[in-house]
Chains A and B, each alone.
Chain A
Amino acid sequence: MWNRVGIIGISETKCEEMNRRDSTTDLVFRITSEALKDAGIAQSDIDTVVMAESDQLDGRVIGAMAMALPAHAYGKDEIRVEDDGASALILAYMRCLSDRFDTAVVVGWGMCSQTNLDLLTGYSFDPFFHRPLGLNWITAHGVQAMTYMNKWGITEEQAAKVTVKNRSNAVNNQNAHLRKRVEIAEVLKSGYVSTPLRRLNLPPYSDGACAIVLASEEKAKRSGRPVAWITGVGWSNDTYFMGDKDLWRLSSLGQAAKRAYAMAGIHDPFKEIDVAEVYDVTSYHELMEYEALGFCREGDGGKLIDSGATSMDGELPVNPSGGMLSSNPYISVGLFRVAEAALQVSNRAGNRQVPGARTALAHGMSGICGQSNSVVILTN
């Protein structure tokens, strides 16, 4: 029904606390060059460049103006999405679906070491009703996690299991920032930041970048590269006001998943998806995401982690890469999720490979408290 579009090139930097070797420009140039090399194409082969970048994080307005050139966009139709990287991937995908473009490069980056992410996210709130209360991504997610916990009786232990699982998975991912195992007791002893969120329920602050090359069917097949075909996409947006929605569920993620599954012909996500890379902005959010993605029933996120189904040796491993709880280059997190999902179905995920993975799901999030969500389904 749709023209097929596939991922033929992937590059990721190692995510780290502070990358002093690269200015943002160097970073973008390097990651784009590596993705092109991985895809086996030259700059002249690129039809369009889609960037995912946050001006505020980069500390310069019109960041695309500076980064277009290192992103190899000279002379090209280039556009920037100031949203999570998965959105940029989706725009590039739509461009390749129309016959105007055959090859797209998607580049996303975030250097959290350059500024204070907590302060920045505070500015996401309106100055009238929410900013005066000091709300930022941590305190707002604290309220959300508290609501979820109290609604369904989720325990701190269940949330801690998410951290333990993801940090343990990251040991196998040479590109992850935090690669040291943690135990449940350690998570439960780490101090509260905004209840119920403890420090170890929260992501680190990382520098990192990712680039992906997309090609339409003809080009992808001729590339000689393993292809991760995009078979479904969906995205949706909820209300801005935290009070206007049920904080204990990620409604727009449910809507996004429904659209992606319909496109990909998936009826039973838990059975038909082999591996998922989700946006674990807190340990509690990963549990909420199991429910919104239909991996389990509403309210059963805690039960699912208890069952071990989402561990590396379970039926549906979630975040083999270590997820956001191990690496957080802010606005590029969703693009990393897509990259990791693509590596899985291309059988290129090295030590973190889920054996025989055929269908993968990638999830990106924008805004606060799960306001906007994107889902991408990939198949080999």
Chain B
Amino acid sequence: MSRRVAIVGTGQTKYKSKHRTYASPDMYFEVMKSCLEDAELSVNDIDAVVFGLGPESFDGVNGVDKWCSDAAGALNKPLMRINTGGATGGSTVLAALDHVASGMFDVVVAVSGQRMGEGTGHPQYGLGLGFDPILVRPFSVNSLPIFSGDALTCMNKFGFGEYHMARIAVKNHLNALNNPYAHLRINTTMEEALKAKYLSYPLRLLDMCPSSEGACAVIVASEEKAKKITSRPAWINGFNAGTTIINPGIGGADSTTTWDKIVWPAYNMAGIDNPRKQIQVAEPYIPISYQEIAAYAAFGFCKPNEVAKLVEDGFGEMGGEVPFCPSGGCLCSNTIGCSGMARMAEAAIQVMGKGDARQVENVRTALATAGGGLFGTGGMTAFFLDVVVLGAQPN
């Protein structure tokens, strides 16, 4: 059996549109300092560094991990760079887990970030570079029309409407008011949410994630070390990752269609057969409101035809049955290479009882996901999902 691995500390910077006070190395140094402080460790306690960064087209430097390696505590240490698009932050945590589970290292830091604000063009241009340069890019495709098409598919398929999307949007934005790191901290209401301008029908302004800059770090440790470092580690009891093809709209598929295939192996590993009863909080990677609704079913919390009712009953709200995104989630802060890690950090914060104003009560098990890829380009494009299940006790 592989060694057990736990998260023993986390750090995040505040997320903003553009951090004028930071050159990139400054940002990574800050997040490393705060993560080391959280774990009460020094940089000399770190055995290896895994650096996650999404598309460099945002940062404008080829190899930000090399440029910022000193700030990431990687001087004279093993360093590796991970890039899986939007899932990067999550993949980086899993790669750090690989380092420890292999038996080669005991304490490894996973650090990630992105400078979404360095480019002065529109972020969608940078994302558009993900599409095939010969067959698709000439159409100047970006992700908005794809997501709005997918939203309509989900609305039809699962039986919910703009009202339900607004419930999610409002919930997450209000949650973010409790999160000192969140980018968007908007005290909004259902009325405002339903009057907000459309970006691309049916998606309104508050349904979409912002483009945020920031960084996150997570320290993982072997069982033996974790127990020495903190009295409340967040044990990585289940994890999985997988790549699937998404062609939304074809064969009734939507963007969440294959998520269950990737989530259940992680649940099995963690000994979960009834997520609704056994998981107390979720921090999924969901950049658009409608996806959270479909995710209730995709993650096994209910049947597909029950999602609308769950939203109406406030299932995912603070104080609801299973709070989703107490941090405000990606809807309030989305830093491409880093959000996936922020979700895992926030889930760890919940398990470790460090959530302050956003703490959910009695968390024994938390779910976090990270996702990446661009779908709906007419075939053969991969979508990638990382899943972790964190527990207050090792399984």
**Chain A CB within 8 A of B169 CB:** no
* Chain B proximity of A63: nearest CB distance (Å): 8
Chain B residues contacting A241 (CB-CB under 8 Å) are 70
From A87, A98, A234, B80 is in contact (CB under 8 Å) with A87
* Chain B proximity of A75: nearest CB distance (Å): 6
Q: Are B133 and A59 in contact (CB under 8 A)?
A: yes
Instruction: Choose, from B98-106, B202-210, B276-284, the stretch at the interface.
Output: B98-106
From A65, A77, A367, B372 is in contact (CB under 8 Å) with A65
Closest-by-CB residue of B relative to A263 is B104
Q: Are B57 and A75 in contact (CB under 8 A)?
A: no
From A74, A100, A251, A371, B2 is in contact (CB under 8 Å) with A100
A window 99-117: CB within 8 A of B: 99-100
Closest-by-CB residue of B relative to A119 is B62
| A-contact 0/1 string along B50-65, CB 8 Å cutoff | 0001111100111101
Interface residues on B, range: 35 or more
Q: Are B77 and A366 in contact (CB under 8 A)?
A: no
* Chain B proximity of A86: nearest CB distance (Å): 11
Interface residues on A, range: 35 or more
* Chain A proximity of B78: nearest CB distance (Å): 5
A372-B50 Cα distance, complex, nearest whole Å:
13
Instruction: Choose, from A120-128, A300-308, A311-319, the stretch at the interface.
Output: A120-128
Chain B residues contacting A256 (CB-CB under 8 Å) are 78
Q: Are B69 and A64 in contact (CB under 8 A)?
A: no
**Chain A CB within 8 A of B85 CB:** yes
Instruction: Choose, from A89-97, A203-211, A281-289, the stretch at the interface.
Output: A89-97
A126-B84 Cα distance, complex, nearest whole Å:
23
Q: Are B131 and A60 in contact (CB under 8 A)?
A: yes
Q: Are A60 and B132 in contact (CB under 8 A)?
A: yes
**Chain B CB within 8 A of A270 CB:** no
From A56, A79, A91, B62 is in contact (CB under 8 Å) with A56
Chain B residues contacting A75 (CB-CB under 8 Å) are 242-244, 261
Q: Are A79 and B126 in contact (CB under 8 A)?
A: no
A306-B91 Cα distance, complex, nearest whole Å:
47
A window 204-255: CB within 8 A of B: 234-241, 251-252, 255
| B-contact 0/1 string along A6-44, CB 8 Å cutoff | 000000000000000001000000000000000000000
**Chain A CB within 8 A of B272 CB:** no
**Chain A CB within 8 A of B155 CB:** no
**Chain A CB within 8 A of B333 CB:** no
8 A-B residue contacts at CB 8 Å? A65-B85, A65-B381, A78-B243, A81-B83, A91-B98, A100-B101, A124-B62, A124-B63
Closest-by-CB residue of A relative to B63 is A124
**Chain B CB within 8 A of A349 CB:** no
**Chain B CB within 8 A of A82 CB:** yes
* Chain A proximity of B80: nearest CB distance (Å): 5
From A60, A82, A93, B133 is in contact (CB under 8 Å) with A60
Q: Are B243 and A236 in contact (CB under 8 A)?
A: no
Q: Are B57 and A97 in contact (CB under 8 A)?
A: no
Q: Are A126 and B61 in contact (CB under 8 A)?
A: yes
Chain A residues contacting B101 (CB-CB under 8 Å) are 94, 97-98, 100
**Chain A CB within 8 A of B141 CB:** no
* Chain B proximity of A177: nearest CB distance (Å): 23
Q: Are B61 and A61 in contact (CB under 8 A)?
A: no
Chain A residues contacting B160 (CB-CB under 8 Å) are none
Q: Are A237 and B77 in contact (CB under 8 A)?
A: yes
Inter-chain pairs besides A78-B243, A79-B82, 8 sampled, C-beta below 8 Å: A54-B62, A62-B83, A64-B85, A64-B384, A74-B382, A79-B84, A98-B98, A238-B75
**Chain A CB within 8 A of B194 CB:** no
Q: Are A239 and B69 in contact (CB under 8 A)?
A: yes
Chain A residues contacting B70 (CB-CB under 8 Å) are 239-241
**Chain B CB within 8 A of A80 CB:** yes
**Chain A CB within 8 A of B94 CB:** yes
**Chain A CB within 8 A of B129 CB:** yes
Q: Are A65 and B2 in contact (CB under 8 A)?
A: no
Q: Are A78 and B384 in contact (CB under 8 A)?
A: yes
Chain A residues contacting B91 (CB-CB under 8 Å) are 79-80
Closest-by-CB residue of B relative to A259 is B78
Closest-by-CB residue of B relative to A100 is B2
Chain A residues contacting B245 (CB-CB under 8 Å) are 69, 74
From B68, B84, B104, B126, A94 is in contact (CB under 8 Å) with B104
Q: Are A237 and B244 in contact (CB under 8 A)?
A: no
Q: Are B69 and A61 in contact (CB under 8 A)?
A: no
A99-B1 Cα distance, complex, nearest whole Å:
6
**Chain B CB within 8 A of A76 CB:** yes
Chain B residues contacting A98 (CB-CB under 8 Å) are 2-3, 98, 101-103
**Chain A CB within 8 A of B250 CB:** no
Q: Are B104 and A97 in contact (CB under 8 A)?
A: yes
Chain A residues contacting B382 (CB-CB under 8 Å) are 64-66, 68-69, 73-74, 78
From B23, B63, B134, B374, A367 is in contact (CB under 8 Å) with B63
Q: Are A61 and B81 in contact (CB under 8 A)?
A: no
A235-B23 Cα distance, complex, nearest whole Å:
27
Q: Are A238 and B76 in contact (CB under 8 A)?
A: yes
| B-contact 0/1 string along A254-270, CB 8 Å cutoff | 01100100000000000
**Chain B CB within 8 A of A274 CB:** no
Q: Are B60 and A62 in contact (CB under 8 A)?
A: no
Chain B residues contacting A128 (CB-CB under 8 Å) are 23
* Chain B proximity of A131: nearest CB distance (Å): 9
Closest-by-CB residue of A relative to B261 is A75
Chain A residues contacting B75 (CB-CB under 8 Å) are 237-239
What 3 A-B pairs come out closest when comparing CB atoms? A62-B85, A61-B55, A237-B79
| A-contact 0/1 string along B1-28, CB 8 Å cutoff | 1110000000000000000000100000
Chain B residues contacting A235 (CB-CB under 8 Å) are 78-80
| A-contact 0/1 string along B128-154, CB 8 Å cutoff | 011111100000000000000000000
Chain B residues contacting A252 (CB-CB under 8 Å) are 76
Q: Are B83 and A371 in contact (CB under 8 A)?
A: no
A69-B380 Cα distance, complex, nearest whole Å:
7
Chain A residues contacting B86 (CB-CB under 8 Å) are 62
**Chain B CB within 8 A of A83 CB:** yes
Q: Are A62 and B372 in contact (CB under 8 A)?
A: yes
Closest-by-CB residue of A relative to B240 is A77
**Chain A CB within 8 A of B376 CB:** no
Q: Are B83 and A80 in contact (CB under 8 A)?
A: yes
A32-B349 Cα distance, complex, nearest whole Å:
40
Q: Are A372 and B85 in contact (CB under 8 A)?
A: no
Q: Are B241 and A79 in contact (CB under 8 A)?
A: yes
Chain B residues contacting A79 (CB-CB under 8 Å) are 82, 84, 91, 94-95, 241
Given known A-B contacts A77-B241, A79-B241, A121-B62, A65 and B82 have beta carbons under 8 A apart: no
Given known A-B contacts A69-B382, A99-B2, A94 and B99 have beta carbons under 8 A apart: yes
Closest-by-CB residue of B relative to A23 is B134
